Structure 1
């Protein structure tokens, strides 16, 4: 956030604070000067939104891929979150006609449901940014499976958003958050 901008607005309000106690025309003048000042500064500069890191979306996998054998939870949050994230990255990248796509999707959905149902019970874990972002990603992927089944690949826009969330989860996990 731009603190110089905030200080300038506070100074403007402090200098013109007596305008509230004056006649209506003075109040109008104060509002005009405040509006002119506010219009001079773009809203995006005053309140910048956090930008999502630009993530490269890989091509969809339609050939043989490494099918994980380590499904299930170890009941150690950091390990489980990293494993679920890795499996979700593979699931997100599968294209139409990929071998074992349906089996992968069924295993993935079970693992996601197990992960969420176990870890959301613990306030220390449920409050972590990595968990909330991963939870959001899980809802997106599980919703896709529920709506379209396990054989239909994710649309490009949804894939891009999921890859951005996976990057955020990775950053949070590296910081133990």
Structure 2
């Protein structure tokens, strides 16, 4: 099986003029940093080009409607909107820390409630928002509530938010 994988990677390497596989003496990190290892992740995403990424700002309208209504579409749209505000925050934004704390609680409540229902948990709007929630909650856990998201993460989250919106409009 490993042999087949290596042959496939070598064929891919020669077909696309990507440098050949590193020798066995090369450390694992060097291989993982090579274009061969990164090739599956370097493919452009069509939907990423369609998403307009707003710049981070310190002047945002903060919502006051925290909590769930227990209506899936309404809650999904509300959590998504709150996450968009959080994603757009720049360093030094007023009320950034309390906003982040409220949002993290709302995200946890959302996931905790809706993942129990198989009819909801299988919807693309839920699974995509769940992925975005994991990214944003992970950022808060690692860096705290005072630090803005890096541009690369911000761009990816805006793409996820656009996919959630499309799924909601389709009723899924």
Alignment correspondent of 2:105: 110
**Equivalent in 76, 80, 89 of residue 71 of structure 2:** 76
Structure 2: gaps of 5 or more residues: 1-14, 16-42
**Equivalent in 145, 169, 176 of residue 171 of structure 2:** 176
Structure 1: gaps of 5 or more residues: 1-38, 40-47
The 4+ residue runs of structure 1 with deviation greater than 2 A are 48-51
Highest Rg: 1 or 2? 1
Q: Tell me, what secondary structure is at the counterpart of 1:144?
A: helix
Aligned residues: 131
User: If the length of structure 2 is used for normalisation, what is the TM-score?
Assistant: 0.73
Query: For the aligned residues, what is the CA RMSD?
Result: 1.7
Measure the CA separation in 2 of the matches of 1:104 and 1:94.
Answer: 10
**Equivalent in 30, 55, 59 of residue 55 of structure 2:** 59
Alignment correspondent of 2:137: 142
How big is the shift at 1:51?
A: 2.6
How big is the shift at 1:49?
A: 8.4
